[in-house]
Amino acid sequence: MQKTNLLESGSIMKRSKSKKTALASQNVYDCVATGHEDRLGDMPDCILHHILSFMETRHAIRTCGLSKRWRYIWTSIPCLYFNSKSFTRLVDFKKFVLWVLSHRDNSHVKVLIYYRFGVDYATDQYLFNKVIEYAALHGVQEIRINLRAKTSGCPPIEIPLPLFTCQSLKRLELKDCQPTNISSPFGCKSLDTLHLEHFSMFPTAADFSNPFASLSELFGFTTLTALHLNNFALCYTGMECLDPFAKCFNLKILQLSEMSFKSDLSPKDFVISAPKLSNLSLICNRFRCKIVVASPKLLNFTYLYSTPCAFFEYSLPSLDGLIIDIHELPEPLEKSHRNKREETLHGLINMLRGHHKAEAVKLSFCTVAVTCGAAALEKPECLSYSKWKSLDFGVGSTYKIFINKLDHITAYFRNCSQHVDFEIVNI
Amino acid sequence: MAEEKSQASSSKMLTLKASDGVLFEVELNIAKEMKTVQAYIDDCEDIETIPIPNVLGKHLAIVIEYIKKTNEEYDAEFEKQWNMDDLQLLLLAANYLNISGLQECLCKAIAKRIENKSPEYVRKVFNIENDHSPEEEAKLRKEYKWAFEGVDKD
């Protein structure tokens, strides 16, 4: 049961006063079950906070009027959720935010959500500084920011220093902004998960020879275990291959989506080689260069394709336990596109050829199946030394017209294995 | 997956007894998702029937089903089936049994249902007695004026 918990349940804290609260719960439950008593109100504060933490702060504050018991509950909700869309004027939003910061009690803030959808180019630097400073002072662990502006998209913003020096910050999400900071001497030391969307570095701050280097300097990529980058246009002026994640020693999950390199400013090879990477997702990117997947501990690779120009090379020492999930969007099969696709698939087949020692491989294809089969059959060499014992082979059901080729494909793989009891499971 | 687990020899069965006497036989790995039950098992190893005095059979059944089926899709649809009363009782059960995933799902669902409603509505739904005097209430409304703007119609 994987859940990204917005807040830890208050129950853990409750357990330490176990007997007393267990009895309290019992009474509440009995009362509730008979349908007569105040239910929500009798729940311990931590549960009420948990419920209220899913609402914008503006709505949560209304509970102050419910009854005496509820008067000050809002002041210690460990979540601040400010959304300027709920206010008719930005000036009211500002007044509200400042009011909340000064009327809240001093309890800690676990999550800060700050969405300021502005109208013009500049965003409110003063307000942003105040909010970040407050959150950092109160032990914030997760911050989500969106500063989208109507006219310009990503306003320039200086990320306040307290964010970088905040020892408690574990997850950071930044959308629609352009940091003007050149670098931070601190990075974010405890940062675990970073999510940057529709983001760009302010031109003077960016290092064009290596676009990821500026991000890495600003946020400190080395502590991250999960990184999501979405919707960036990058430039790369170097001549070599780009291997931006090589020093991300703790990175386990990487997701790149809707990324592209501007016009001709792309590297020759884009290498992904984070040493501990186990999950890689490439979704709807527009890379026009060769992608080399060279992460030694990779277990899951998901690829949702969008341009016909990407092609892959794999440099993986082991395939054991690797799950590859490749989806192509249906497109008319123009000749040139078809060639590129075969290159993509050849990359995959070449990889499989190289890994004849793997025992279990799980591949799932949608639409790629036919081309893979056709391409594979064109090459007479088989994986004759393959030790494959099982192949979980998934074919997307939308492409039923290609099903008649499935036999060829499965026969191909069956031929490649030495085992008599080689199993192909159609997912 | 549940089937495989029940065939494995390591999957012991446990009986949970709800407050109204209804008995539920569950696999150990399902029961362990309830941290309260896990703690009970840790304390008394050989126990076979665990009393759950705070939860009615009807709700315990729902909780067990949730643990077995939970995933993103299931969770999204889960809360839609229950009325407000059941949601609150399930939340109390999830809190007592210490199942963080279920508690999160239910808190989110309750929050969605009361988010932009008037205090009168929320009091009615949760059976909260308004013990503010009319003067106190007027004072609050004035002080928090902006908070009461734009509320949904009940």
- The pLDDT-based confidence of A2 (bands split at 50, 70, 90) is very low
Q: Which residue of A has its CA nearest to B86?
A: A33
Which pLDDT belongs to residue A240?
A: 75
DSSP secondary structure letters along A282-298: EES-B--SEEEE--TT-
Report the residue of A67, A75, A100 to disrupt the B interface, i.e. the one with the largest count of B CBs within 10 Å. Answer: A67
- The pLDDT-based confidence of B139 (bands split at 50, 70, 90) is confident
Alpha-carbon torsion (B71, B74, B80, B81), positive or negative: negative
- Please indicate if any CB of chain B lies within 8 Å of the CB of A52: yes
Which has more confidence, A212 or A366? A212
- The pLDDT-based confidence of A302 (bands split at 50, 70, 90) is confident
Which has more confidence, A348 or B30? B30
Complex ipTM tops 0.95: no
Q: Looking at the predicted structure, is the pLDDT value of residue A37 above 60?
A: no
- Residues of chain A contacting residue B30, judged by C-beta atoms under 8 Å apart: none
Q: Report, as an integer, the average pLDDT of A312-330.
A: 62
* DSSP summary character for residue B146: G
- The pLDDT-based confidence of A234 (bands split at 50, 70, 90) is confident
Q: Report, as an integer, the average pLDDT of B9-20.
A: 82
Name the least confident of A118-122, A153-157, A310-314, B33-37. A310-314
| Pairwise CB contact (< 8 Å): A29 & B93 | yes
Q: How distant is the Cα of A256 from the closest Cα of chain B, in angstroms?
A: 22
Task: Compute the distance between CA of residue A59 and CA of residue B148 in angstroms, rounded to an integer.
Answer: 9
* Residue B23: Cβ within 10 Å count: 11
Which pLDDT belongs to residue A9?
A: 40
Which pLDDT belongs to residue B5?
A: 42
Q: Report, as an integer, the average pLDDT of A337-354.
A: 55
Which has more confidence, A330 or B96? B96
Q: Give the nearest partner residue to A96 out of B101, B111, B146, using CB atoms.
A: B146
Q: Looking at the predicted structure, is the pLDDT value of residue B110 above 90?
A: yes
Q: Looking at the predicted structure, is the pLDDT value of residue A47 above 80?
A: yes
Which pLDDT belongs to residue A339?
A: 55
Q: Give the nearest partner residue to B140 out of A28, A58, A65, using CB atoms.
A: A65
Q: How distant is the Cα of B46 from the closest Cα of chain A, in angstroms?
A: 23
Which pLDDT belongs to residue A20?
A: 41
* Residue A119: Cβ within 10 Å count: 11
Which has more confidence, A363 or A228? A228
For residue A104, CA distances in Å to A53, A98, A108, A124, A135 come to: 14, 10, 10, 22, 12
Name the least confident of A203-212, A228-237, A391-400. A391-400
Q: Report, as an integer, the average pLDDT of A50-75.
A: 91
Average pLDDT of every residue of chain A: 72
Which pLDDT belongs to residue A77?
A: 96
Share of chain A above pLDDT 70, in %: 57
- Residues of chain A contacting residue B93, judged by C-beta atoms under 8 Å apart: 29
Task: Compute the distance between CA of residue A384 and CA of residue A387 in angstroms, rounded to an integer.
Answer: 9
- Please indicate if any CB of chain B lies within 8 Å of the CB of A249: no
Q: Looking at the predicted structure, is the pLDDT value of residue A27 above 80?
A: no
- The pLDDT-based confidence of A207 (bands split at 50, 70, 90) is low
Share of chain A above pLDDT 90, in %: 26
- Please indicate if any CB of chain B lies within 8 Å of the CB of A185: no
Angle between helical axes of A18-33 and B84-97 (0-180°, round to 10)? 160
Beta-strand relationship, A226-230 and A171-175: unpaired
Q: Looking at the predicted structure, is the pLDDT value of residue A263 above 50?
A: yes
Q: Report, as an integer, the average pLDDT of A58-82.
A: 92
Interface of A with B in 20-49 (CB under 8 A): 22, 25-26, 28-29, 32-33, 35-41, 43, 47
- The pLDDT-based confidence of B150 (bands split at 50, 70, 90) is low
Q: Which of A214, A71, A313 is closest to B128 using CA atoms?
A: A71
Interface of A with B in 80-139 (CB under 8 A): 86, 92, 96
- The pLDDT-based confidence of A97 (bands split at 50, 70, 90) is very high
Which pLDDT belongs to residue A250?
A: 93
Q: Report, as an integer, the average pLDDT of A51-70.
A: 91
* Residue A402: Cβ within 10 Å count: 18
Q: Give the nearest partner residue to A41 out of B103, B126, B148, using CB atoms.
A: B126
Q: Looking at the predicted structure, is the pLDDT value of residue A112 above 90?
A: yes
Which pLDDT belongs to residue A297?
A: 85
Task: Compute the distance between CA of residue A133 and CA of residue A124 in angstroms, rounded to an integer.
Answer: 14
| Pairwise CB contact (< 8 Å): A66 & B130 | yes
| Pairwise CB contact (< 8 Å): A65 & B104 | no
- Residues of chain B contacting residue A29, judged by C-beta atoms under 8 Å apart: 19, 54-55, 89, 92-93, 96
Q: How distant is the Cα of B97 from the closest Cα of chain A, in angstroms?
A: 9
- The pLDDT-based confidence of A12 (bands split at 50, 70, 90) is very low
Q: Report, as an integer, the average pLDDT of B122-150.
A: 81
Q: Looking at the predicted structure, is the pLDDT value of residue A247 above 90?
A: no
Q: Report, as an integer, the average pLDDT of A135-153.
A: 89
- Per residue in A266-279, pLDDT (tens digit) is 777 888 999 999 99
Task: Compute the distance between CA of residue B83 and CA of residue B60 in angstroms, rounded to an integer.
Answer: 16
Which pLDDT belongs to residue B102?
A: 95
Name the least confident of A324-338, A370-384, B52-66, B90-104. A370-384
- The pLDDT-based confidence of A205 (bands split at 50, 70, 90) is low
Q: Which of A103, A81, A62, A97 is closest to B140 using CA atoms?
A: A62
Q: Looking at the predicted structure, is the pLDDT value of residue A53 above 60?
A: yes
| pTM as predicted | 0.77
Which pLDDT belongs to residue A338?
A: 53
Contacts of A416 (CB under 8 A, 6+ apart): A352, A382, A383, A384, A386, A388
- The pLDDT-based confidence of B76 (bands split at 50, 70, 90) is confident
Q: Give the nearest partner residue to A68 out of B55, B108, B132, using CB atoms.
A: B132
Q: How distant is the Cα of B138 from the closest Cα of chain A, in angstroms?
A: 10
- Residues of chain A contacting residue B67, judged by C-beta atoms under 8 Å apart: 1
Which has more confidence, A388 or A167? A167
